[in-house]
Amino acid sequence: MLRDILKGDDDQIAAVIGAIAEAEPEILVLQGFDYDLQGAALNAFAAAIAKIGPDYPFRFALPPNAGRQTSLDLDGDGKTGGARDAQGYGRFFGDGAMAILSRYPIIAEGVQDYSDLLWRDMPDAMLPATTSGPFPSPEALQIQRLSSHGHWVVPIAVPSLGTITLMTSHATPPVFDGPEDRNGKRNHDEIMFWDHYLQGVFASPATERFILLGNMNLDPDKGDGLKPAILSLLENPKLQDPLFGQPTATFEGVGDLRVDYLLPSSDWRISAFGSVANPIASRHSLIWVDLDR
């Protein structure tokens, strides 16, 4: 990915940059963006965007669970060392992770990172099991993290507004598993994490000027997955849903689904919202909202 960003002739990267330039977000959350320790790819990408669009001097990424290998069989195929035996699916460490680009300072010392929370420590965790017992094994569930990528709470200092707070995650797709529904249950619990967080289960959450956003990989009406998780968020009185009912991604053989969400806290004034779709860039649209006090 870094090679292709630097070469400057990749059609998909150009399409992604074009969508960002069209929307001109002041703060941008990227999902499915490879992580590297020095931030080389994120810095190169920000520089490429700045040539035709917004300048993002403030950049943020944390080591993800994607591709973080374990020594155990986590998917129950009887083998170890595969992409699904990592804490989150990944062919290499950092495969398709998350990042934030911002025009405003990111308050690094205020970040809360819940990426190492064990799945079994999640309240009311829906841990996978078969008639033989915990799936794929009791040992696997002792070390399995909840987040397939990460759960971040990131404060940003915006001069005209004060501190705002981003809450972001990228849930696993609720498919590609067996009757134990491992991925479906994990998807459910990754989303439900935010419900618990807003209730103050893990820490004292922000009470004003926050935005919950990310790829939840779950449509409230169509497709696979356990719907109560996303419905719980969409019905939460602390949140607004400006893009109600709007599909955000198109999947071959499935069609249009709403799997990406941008849910501002109820105290925001929403002045505009929309999406930018470009199938060359991604099967997911860029979704955006303009907020003010």
Residue-level pLDDT at 275? 97
Residue-level pLDDT at 272? 98
Average pLDDT estimate for 159-178: 96
Residue-level pLDDT at 157? 98
Total domains present in the chain: 1
Local confidence band at 74 (pLDDT 50, 70, 90 cut-offs): very high
- Provide the residue range defining the domain that includes 7: 2-292
Nearest one of 291, 275, 152 to 208, comparing CA atoms: 291
At 248, list the tokens: 């955000």
Mean pLDDT of the chain: 97
Q: For the whole model, what pTM was predicted? A: 0.97
CATH number of the domain within which 164 lies = 3.60.10.10
Average pLDDT estimate for 199-214: 96
Average pLDDT estimate for 165-188: 97
Local confidence band at 197 (pLDDT 50, 70, 90 cut-offs): very high
Average pLDDT estimate for 53-67: 98
Average pLDDT estimate for 190-205: 97
- How many other C-beta atoms are found inside a 10 Å radius of the C-beta of residue 8? 12
- 253 versus 146: which is more confidently predicted? 146
Residue-level pLDDT at 292? 95
Local confidence band at 88 (pLDDT 50, 70, 90 cut-offs): very high
Average pLDDT estimate for 99-119: 98
User: Percent of the chain scored above 90 by pLDDT?
Assistant: 99
Local confidence band at 154 (pLDDT 50, 70, 90 cut-offs): very high
Local confidence band at 267 (pLDDT 50, 70, 90 cut-offs): very high
Q: Is the peptide bond before 159 cis (omega within 30 degrees of 0)?
A: no
Local confidence band at 216 (pLDDT 50, 70, 90 cut-offs): very high
Residue-level pLDDT at 63? 97
Local confidence band at 252 (pLDDT 50, 70, 90 cut-offs): very high
